A and B are shown apart, each in its own frame.
Chain A
Amino acid sequence: MAEQPDNVLIETIGLEKHFDSLHVLRGIDQQVKRGEKVVVIGPSGSGKSTFLRCLNRLEEPTGGQILFEGVDITAKHSDINRIRRKMGMVFQQFNLFPHMTVLRNMTLAPVRLKVMSQEQAEEKAMGLLTRIGLKDKATQYPRALSGGQQQRIAILRALNMNPDIMLFDEPTSALDPEMVGEVLDLMRQLVNDGMTMVVVTHEMGFAREVGDRILFMDEGVIVEEAPPAQLFSNPQKERTKRFLEKVL
């Protein structure tokens, strides 16, 4: 096993992904430190979502390695279900379970996986809901909630597992514009709590504000990475400049 400094939470080594003949990730070497907020930007089709989804093997990498807390999670014998408990994920489409109440959405996995007792899970869930002012929604079904509320609850559902890292796959892209703010606010709270986060987003303002490091991806590689102040105001690569001119 590769040596890894203690403060590195997750590391990819030569990460590759092929979809049949399509070469989507062409060798990504990255380290995310504990507490770090990494924001991935890039044009659609650049592979940024695939990169994120490879981190918890929702997408199976076709080459390279991923080390999470020092463990090679791409190894054949690795227990990915156990590892995923420590990695929360938030999707573009929320993906709340429509046949369950908000509370059950949040307690299902922690209880079933024996991370917590039913009472503990509910107590924690209610605490989280109270914090974002949605305590009264606990017994409602997702369909009764707005998109912004659903996405915030999807974030809480992941948080209720006590993850060590949160992965966000374009969390605001499916939202009506007036609901983007409330989701970003909740993500800012996570930032302040010191959560390790990898965020794929088109929200450049948010990226600049909370990112410790921005990765600009295009055509399956990380073209450029830098702290936001540097990457946004003084990009080094031609491709980065062209992309930023279009989106800023």
Chain B
Amino acid sequence: MGFFEQLARDFQFNIIDGDRYLMLVRGLGTTVLIAMCAAIIGIVLGSVIALMRLSTWRMGKTFYPLRAISSFYVDVIRGTPMVVQLMIMYYVILASSSLSKELIAIISFGLNSAAYTSEIVRGGILAVDKGQTEAGRSLGLSSAQTMMLVVLPQSVRIVIPSLFNEFIMLLKETSVVGFIGLADLTKAGDFIRSRTFSAFFPLMTVAVMYFVIVSLLTRVFGRVERRLRKGDGRTA
């Protein structure tokens, strides 16, 4: 039997037989679902954390409670591995809850992503010229109005490329959800491997599927970015 013939048989056995590709497709669905829902939580919560980190509300002379809480949160999330956070969420914090594994994964990744997103958003807010805030305030707008109407719309354009990048990282990072027994794309490949006792095709297929998804996203995001830049008229 020739090399290519063998290859074809392996592929047939590992991916096609027993509808194993369906397992992979379903796994991909889980991966994308978790990543997208977590990204939404990440952006909303991340923006809140970013605003907290920039708050000027002060107790006493030098203590900023909102800043302290938010930077502690960011430090903890960034200082511990994602898998550990996921397992703590599943086996400890939400152990007695009746939430589905998917939901627990979404919450865990959302909370994790929020910490990273908050840093991106914070950077975007700080990147808007201080004169913009001053102009808004000098007209009598409150600091909240100035933030919502003047600063944030400008920082959105600044942070979009980084947010896209964060989403791609997040998508790949969800590959650890197998630790709590979720059948995502990675876990599906691993499951096939354990059934067929052959590692090459299941794992390569998984890798290719991630790669294709990420490439597609990169293209779409690139197009969105270009359109945003055009709308803004910035040359950068």
- Are B135 and A161 within 8 A (Cβ)? no
CB distance from B58 to the nearest CB of A (A): 13
- Are B139 and A109 within 8 A (Cβ)? yes
CB distance from A181 to the nearest CB of B (A): 24
How many residues on chain A are close to B (CB under 8 Å)? 28
Chain A residues near B149 (CB-CB < 8 A)? 108, 112
Which single member of A87, A97, A99 contacts B135 (CB below 8 Å)? A97
The segment out of A77-85, A120-128, A129-137, A217-225 that lies at the interface is: A77-85
- Are B139 and A161 within 8 A (Cβ)? yes
Q: Judge if A56 is at the interface, Cβ distance under 8 Å.
A: yes
- Are A97 and B150 within 8 A (Cβ)? yes
CB distance from B172 to the nearest CB of A (A): 33
Q: Judge if B141 is at the interface, Cβ distance under 8 Å.
A: yes
- Are A95 and B140 within 8 A (Cβ)? no
Q: A97-B132, A99-B154 are in contact. Are A81 and B138 (CB under 8 A)?
A: no
Chain A residues near B137 (CB-CB < 8 A)? 58, 81, 84
Chain A residues near B157 (CB-CB < 8 A)? 99
Contacts of B128-146 to chain A: CB distance below 8 A: 129, 131-132, 134-142, 145
- Are A91 and B139 within 8 A (Cβ)? no
Q: Judge if B81 is at the interface, Cβ distance under 8 Å.
A: no
Which single member of B132, B135, B140 contacts A81 (CB below 8 Å)? B140
Main SS of the interface on chain B?
A: helix
A109 to B157, CA, bound (A): 23
A122 to B154, CA, bound (A): 23
Residue of A nearest to B132 (CB): A95
Residue of A nearest to B135 (CB): A95
A96 to B154, CA, bound (A): 12
- Are A99 and B139 within 8 A (Cβ)? no
Q: A98-B154, A99-B232, A112-B149 are in contact. Are A58 and B134 (CB under 8 A)?
A: yes
- Are B140 and A82 within 8 A (Cβ)? yes
Q: A95-B135, A97-B150 are in contact. Are A112 and B141 (CB under 8 A)?
A: yes
Q: Lowest 9 A-B CB distances belong to which pairs?
A: A109-B139, A95-B135, A85-B140, A89-B138, A95-B131, A84-B140, A93-B131, A99-B153, A81-B140
Q: Name 5 interchain pairs, CB-CB below 8 A, sorted by A.
A: A58-B134, A81-B141, A93-B131, A108-B149, A109-B139
Residues of B bordering A, CB below 8 Å: 129, 131-132, 134-142, 145, 149-150, 153-154, 157, 232-233
Having A91-B134, A99-B154, one finds 14 other A-B pairs with CB under 8 Å, namely A56-B138, A58-B134, A58-B137, A81-B140, A85-B140, A89-B134, A89-B135, A96-B135, A99-B157, A108-B139, A108-B141, A108-B149, A112-B141, A161-B139
